[in-house]
Structure 1
Amino acid sequence: MEKTYSNNHRNSNDDDDDDHTDTVDDPNQPDQPDHDQISTLIDNVIDDLSTVDDKSTSPELPNTVDTFVAKIESMIDTYNSIKSGTRFTKITNEDAFFIDSIGRLSKLKTVLDDFSNVASFNNINKVLQLGIMLLEDEFRSILHDTNTCSDPITTKGSESQSSDEREREHEHDFPGYSNENVTLMNKIVDVMIPAGYQYECCQAYSTIRRDKLNEQVLRFEFDKVCMEDVHKSKWVTLEPDITRWVNLTNHCSRVLIVAEKKLGEMVFSEHTPVFTGVLINLFRGITNSLLEFPTTVAVEKPKAKRLFKFLDVYEAIRDLNAAIVESGYGEVTGEEYSDLKSEISTVGDSIGEVVINMFNDLKNSISNDTNKTQIQGGAVHPLTRYVMGYIKCAIEDYRDTLECVYRRHVELGNEPSPDTQNSNLPSQISGVIELLDTSLETKSTHYKDPSLRYIFLMNNNRYVLQIVKESTEMKKLIGDNWCRRKSSDVRNYHKSYQRETWTKLLQWLTQEGVQVNGKPSRRILKERFKSFNAMFDDIHKTQSTWVVSDQQLLSEMRVSINAVVSPAYRSFVGRYRPQFEGGKSIDKYIKYQPEDIESMIESLFEGTEKVDTQLNAIQALSTVKQTTGAFKNLLKTYKNVGLM
């Protein structure tokens, strides 16, 4: 039975079967074997020829071979009259027979190669080549015909979307082949490679799939970034390019590479070693374009404020390398895969060194901050907020990555330096906080009032402690022992403040020296009350403008002050008030009732709120973008209020 086709043979989206018709055999023609019969006959010929020991004599081939070759040649002519890419849309029985027959023809040609002077050999070879050319043409057409989207992928206006959500949104676009076409490509590959056309098959697949991958890369419009201009770019213009590169690389790792491997495994299902080489070349094409950018930006000056962007770059390279590793096939992978992974790792290591240098730049910034301007009211210093916000963001969002960076730094055997001698993350974070402590101690010496110095130290150390305690990751990293030591520091500063301020005040309320000749001296009591009132008024006037921003610490301080001042004052007034009763000037000396003292203590440390309110606005921010923005606003505030 012969197969006929209409000129508008099978649209890829058409589900009807009208264009497949079988014609009735001509009764005047001799009977033709059906597909199964002729396939079996040719297989028997191949088997028989493969067992012949004497290859010097040309074999006598049955007429079935000529019939088979002629039938295939006729089918080639028919298929060539149909538009490429639509010849085997439905993969009917006749289509399957034709494709299998090209493979069978290849086997026949192979066994005949061992014989000399086979009459029909040249014709078999010619028909085989025509059949392979047709299959290759169809293979190329199908590879070109994908339903992938080519619209630009942009993250503008979608800040609320995570990168994972954006990737899932585009994941269904790739690679864009129907199951029928994947099956057809698999059948063609299974014919071409055994027939000795591995190069042509792989070349077609590699070229077209590389172009399709490049189309996906171009959707991120990353080609607009000129490597030559990167070094000339200011950070404000380079930062969006880094974001775009990270999004592109993550998309390649999580979507493109995974989907490309899955597609190839289905198309080359019986030829994994062959596909491995193809896949390496495809991945190398992707990675070569991707790795150029981080290699270029790696020479940027290592400023601390750029750390988080470069950690994003490091993570993207790490994930790219992991995707390549997961796409390997064990021992089949070979040297080329190892070289590719090594190239990616080398770029990742260079970014890792930049990250370490940026972290060191943070330390240098702390050590070199010699600004002597006092923070009004002894409030939390902007440097404290900046540093703690910085490391909180680093730990909560990038802890695993930073640990990997420092671990890799040790593995590479880099020469230790003072900044990286203890190359593990906990020691690095502790080192940063120690530098901050030293800087705060120095800054505290700029306060002439010792009491205010202790308020400043107490505020800042309490702030550092609370940031660590409120962050599970930071507390886990730094440890409970550090928290206990820092709590002890805060208590000691509190005690020192109490001694410096309130112990001196309480000296006017002691019983010692009040009596003369066994009786309370009115003159001495007048001096005591006048001195107490003057000192208390001065303390209240001054320390009401001081700042204790932590509400728990503020409450603890007021309670502790009241606990020592109120009972002493109440007792002193209760004991010596009778010495002034009946006099006209009792209010001059006993200026405050005990309740007044307690009330006034409750109004201490409220501050001017000018600086504190502005600075507190960033305390709760934690994400990379929010933290970066908060740091900028903080530093701007720092300058606007004359603190820088």
Structure 2
Amino acid sequence: MVVRSPGIGDLEGPIAEQEDLVHRRLEAAEEAVERWGSRGGSAAGGGGVSDSPELAAAVRELISLSSDGGSSGQRAKMALQVAMVHLEDEFRQVLISGTYFLPPDSLQASLHDNIALPARSFSFSSFPNSEALSISSFATTTDDSRTYCSGFTRESVSMEKIHLYLIDPEASILLMEIAELIILAGHAPNICHVYSETRHNTLMQCLCLLGVQSEHAAATAEDGCSMQLDSHKVKLWIQGLKIFVGTVLPEERHACAHIFGCNSMVEQDCFTRATTRCTQQLLKVGNAIAQAKDRHYEKAPLILEMYEELAKLQPSLQDLLFGDAKDVISLEASTLLGKLGEAALGLLLDFLSLRFNHDLDEKTALDGNILSLTQFVMGFTKVLAEYNGSINTILPLAEEEEEAADSKERTSMAPWEQYVLRLLSHLQLRILERSEFYKDKRLRYIFLMNNAMYVLEHSHSSVLRLSSRDNQTHEKLVLLVEEYATAYLRTTWFPALFHLKWVQFIQGKGRDMMKEVKEGFKNFNSAFEEINRVQTTWKVPNPQLRQHLRIIILNQAIPAYR
């Protein structure tokens, strides 16, 4: 039996069958792509890859066939390229349609109505100007808890409203399926570009809807110009920072992890490229505010609020970012934090100098009531006390020319405590200067006593958060009030009571000097009537101080009159 070796003719059959199979597979895949593309994808009711399993199978078939050589491989690559174009367009459409927007005005209103801004114990809109400073300008509370503007609390934030400009969860499922196919086909850079550009535009729009005017602020900062330190702009920036870093960026990272979870490098790249420029714009707005030159000391709480919120959110911001972008953003955030600290320090020192106009009004000049400067300084200090932690970080230790012992004691105190003590010292000097306005020494001491008592009452409040060393300040103020009360008693009542003591002296001698006795009583009555006529209009607003004055006057007058 003769055995023949297989010849070329015998191999042509299987090879031809294999080529025919490849050809049919290629045609079927091309038809599936063309059929799906002609329907316009999910945008035209095709349902996307979730409802078109033959499309996903066709793309995988083309990926497999494109690895082969020859004309079939080239043809598969061309068909795959067409499929990628359709899928990228589908990805973009789903990404846009999966982000639900309200009209800008409605969205901004809903966000502003539902997101409360911590206002400590003051309202941003209630800051007085330097021409009308009054303690009544502050909406203070009786406890140390933070209050919120418009009566909202943090729990009242509607997350449903915030999610309106984020990616819909159902859309992210479809985006994930498309992304897997595109990444599998080796077109990851393309989908990164589509995602990052689309989401960048969306997030920039989000910043604008939150009231952060990034373009204007960025141009202002770059040109070296100075924007105005507007309370409303600062409030919107703080609100935007909290929402963007606290909600938008974490949600964006979660979306990237879900959509591009099949490839961690693509996930990080998409998130970084979509969010970096938006975050930089947000920081540029803060930078422009920090560089505003028309600052006044009453805006210090605004800058301190910005400083605290940024310092609080900076660690979260660093944890969210990746790679080089993390280093860049961290540096820019740290730089902004330093500028805010410098701006706050300048405002605190401006306030410490007390170099602003406070003219005594007619009412104060007539009745010896509390100086408006005293009321404002103590009220404003109470507001600043809410930021004592940040102030301790911002303020350097005071370098004053003092005796070694006192200097050693001061260096052991927190900067905020040093600041308050220096402020009270400066305030006391200003009160003494203002007291020279009163020509009547009796009214001058009433004025000094009222102001010292007001400072005593408010400086001992727990809101100032001073250490136990505050007891020394308290004792000094108590002694000062007593000193002024005694001086008032001497200048007011001692001359009147002297006439009674003169009568007592005459009677003690046993002499019959009725005329002198009557003259003494007459002089006392005249002095008493003058005191009553003049001092009835004088004010001592503190009830405890009024009672104290009554007691010390009675302790002197009653025994002498008896």
TM-score range, shorter chain: 0.7 to 0.9
Q: Given the superposition, is the C-alpha separation of residues 156 and 183 from structure 1 closer, same or farther in structure 2, using an over 3 Å criterion?
A: closer
The normalised TM-score by structure 2 is 0.75
**SS of 1:302 mapped into structure 2:** coil
Q: Does the 8 Å CA contact 1:366/1:439 hold for their aligned counterparts?
A: no
Alignment-derived partner of residue 276 in structure 1: 268
- In the TM superposition, residue 208 of structure 1 has moved relative to its aligned partner by 0.6
> Which one is further off, 451-460 or 363-372?
363-372
Give the residue type in structure 2 aligned to 1:137.
Answer: D
Q: Distance in 2 between matches of 1:312 and 1:163?
A: 17
Give the residue type in structure 2 aligned to 1:147.
Answer: Y
Q: Distance in 1 between matches of 2:391 and 2:54?
A: 59
> Counting helix residues as a fraction of each chain, which structure ranks higher?
2
Q: Distance in 2 between matches of 1:155 and 1:95?
A: 38
Give the residue type in structure 2 aligned to 1:560.
Answer: I
Q: Distance in 1 between matches of 2:383 and 2:488?
A: 32
Alignment-derived partner of residue 133 in structure 2: none
- In the TM superposition, residue 147 of structure 1 has moved relative to its aligned partner by 1.5
Give the residue type in structure 1 aligned to 2:273.
Answer: N
- In the TM superposition, residue 128 of structure 1 has moved relative to its aligned partner by 3.0
Alignment-derived partner of residue 534 in structure 1: 526
- In the TM superposition, residue 383 of structure 1 has moved relative to its aligned partner by 0.7
Equivalent positions of 1:3-402 (< 5 A) are 68-86=25-43, 89=47, 92=50, 95-96=52-53, 98-99=55-56, 102-103=59-60, 105-106=62-63, 109=66, 117=69, 120-145=72-97, 146-152=99-105, 153-154=108-109, 160=150, 162=152, 165=156, 168=159, 170-177=161-168, 179-220=169-210, 223=213, 226-227=216-217, 238-297=230-289, 298-315=291-308, 317-318=310-311, 321-328=314-321, 333-366=322-355, 375-396=365-386, 398-402=387-391
Give the residue type in structure 2 aligned to 1:280.
Answer: T
Q: Given the superposition, is the C-alpha separation of residues 321 and 167 from structure 1 closer, same or farther in structure 2, using an over 3 Å criterion?
A: farther
Give the residue type in structure 2 aligned to 1:383.
Answer: L
Q: Distance in 2 between matches of 1:150 and 1:502?
A: 74
- In the TM superposition, residue 436 of structure 1 has moved relative to its aligned partner by 0.6
Alignment-derived partner of residue 552 in structure 2: 560
- In the TM superposition, residue 163 of structure 1 has moved relative to its aligned partner by 8.7
Deviations 1:453-494 (A, max 9, x none): 222121112112222344534456984443343233223322
Q: Does the 8 Å CA contact 1:367/1:439 hold for their aligned counterparts?
A: no
Deviations 1:346-388 (A, max 9, x none): 1232122111111111122348879899733221001111111
Deviations 1:164-211 (A, max 9, x none): 55764731312142x332112112222322432121011000011111
Q: Does the 8 Å CA contact 1:455/1:493 hold for their aligned counterparts?
A: yes
Q: Which structure exhibits the higher relative contact order, with contacts defined as CA atoms closer than 8 Å and separated by 6 or more residues?
A: 2
Q: Distance in 1 between matches of 2:430 and 2:158?
A: 45
Q: Distance in 2 between matches of 1:126 and 1:232?
A: 54
Q: Does the 8 Å CA contact 1:310/1:351 hold for their aligned counterparts?
A: yes
Q: Distance in 1 between matches of 2:419 and 2:487?
A: 30
Q: Given the superposition, is the C-alpha separation of residues 402 and 144 from structure 1 closer, same or farther in structure 2, using an over 3 Å criterion?
A: same
- In the TM superposition, residue 566 of structure 1 has moved relative to its aligned partner by 2.4
Q: Distance in 1 between matches of 2:112 and 2:39?
A: 47
Q: Given the superposition, is the C-alpha separation of residues 321 and 526 from structure 1 closer, same or farther in structure 2, using an over 3 Å criterion?
A: same
The normalised TM-score by structure 1 is 0.66
Give the residue type in structure 2 aligned to 1:363.
Answer: L
Alignment-derived partner of residue 498 in structure 2: 507
- In the TM superposition, residue 518 of structure 1 has moved relative to its aligned partner by 3.7
Q: Does the 8 Å CA contact 1:253/1:319 hold for their aligned counterparts?
A: no
> Which one is further off, 550-559 or 219-228?
219-228
Give the residue type in structure 1 aligned to 2:333.
Answer: I
Residue 436 of structure 1, aligned match among 410, 427, 433? 427
Equivalent positions of 1:484-499 (< 5 A) are 484-499=475-490
Q: Given the superposition, is the C-alpha separation of residues 475 and 533 from structure 1 closer, same or farther in structure 2, using an over 3 Å criterion?
A: farther
> Which one is further off, 318-327 or 364-373?
364-373
Q: Does 2:453 correspond to 1:462?
A: yes
Q: Given the superposition, is the C-alpha separation of residues 280 and 274 from structure 1 closer, same or farther in structure 2, using an over 3 Å criterion?
A: same
> Which one is further off, 468-477 or 359-368?
468-477
**SS of 2:538 mapped into structure 1:** coil
Identity score, percent: 22
Q: Given the superposition, is the C-alpha separation of residues 85 and 429 from structure 1 closer, same or farther in structure 2, using an over 3 Å criterion?
A: farther
Q: Distance in 1 between matches of 2:468 and 2:202?
A: 45
Give the residue type in structure 1 aligned to 2:324.
Answer: E
Q: Does the 8 Å CA contact 1:454/1:497 hold for their aligned counterparts?
A: yes
Q: Distance in 1 between matches of 2:539 and 2:259?
A: 71
> Which one is further off, 343-352 or 367-376?
367-376
- In the TM superposition, residue 337 of structure 1 has moved relative to its aligned partner by 0.8
- In the TM superposition, residue 118 of structure 1 has moved relative to its aligned partner by 5.4
- In the TM superposition, residue 343 of structure 1 has moved relative to its aligned partner by 0.9
Q: Does the 8 Å CA contact 1:148/1:176 hold for their aligned counterparts?
A: no
Residues paired across the two proteins, number: 492
Q: Distance in 1 between matches of 2:112 and 2:92?
A: 39
- In the TM superposition, residue 240 of structure 1 has moved relative to its aligned partner by 3.9
Q: Does the 8 Å CA contact 1:392/1:474 hold for their aligned counterparts?
A: no
Give the residue type in structure 1 aligned to 2:378.
Answer: M
Q: Given the superposition, is the C-alpha separation of residues 107 and 521 from structure 1 closer, same or farther in structure 2, using an over 3 Å criterion?
A: farther
Q: Distance in 1 between matches of 2:468 and 2:238?
A: 28
Q: Distance in 1 between matches of 2:70 and 2:233?
A: 66
Give the residue type in structure 2 aligned to 1:535.
Answer: A
Q: Given the superposition, is the C-alpha separation of residues 484 and 281 from structure 1 closer, same or farther in structure 2, using an over 3 Å criterion?
A: farther
Q: Which has the larger radius of gyration?
A: 1
Please list every run of 5 or more consecutive structure 2 residues that lacks an aligned counterpart in the other structure: 1-14, 114-148, 402-409
Give the residue type in structure 2 aligned to 1:80.
Answer: G
Q: Given the superposition, is the C-alpha separation of residues 193 and 429 from structure 1 closer, same or farther in structure 2, using an over 3 Å criterion?
A: farther
Q: Given the superposition, is the C-alpha separation of residues 124 and 247 from structure 1 closer, same or farther in structure 2, using an over 3 Å criterion?
A: same
Q: Distance in 2 between matches of 1:126 and 1:516?
A: 129
- In the TM superposition, residue 66 of structure 1 has moved relative to its aligned partner by 5.2
Alignment-derived partner of residue 619 in structure 1: none
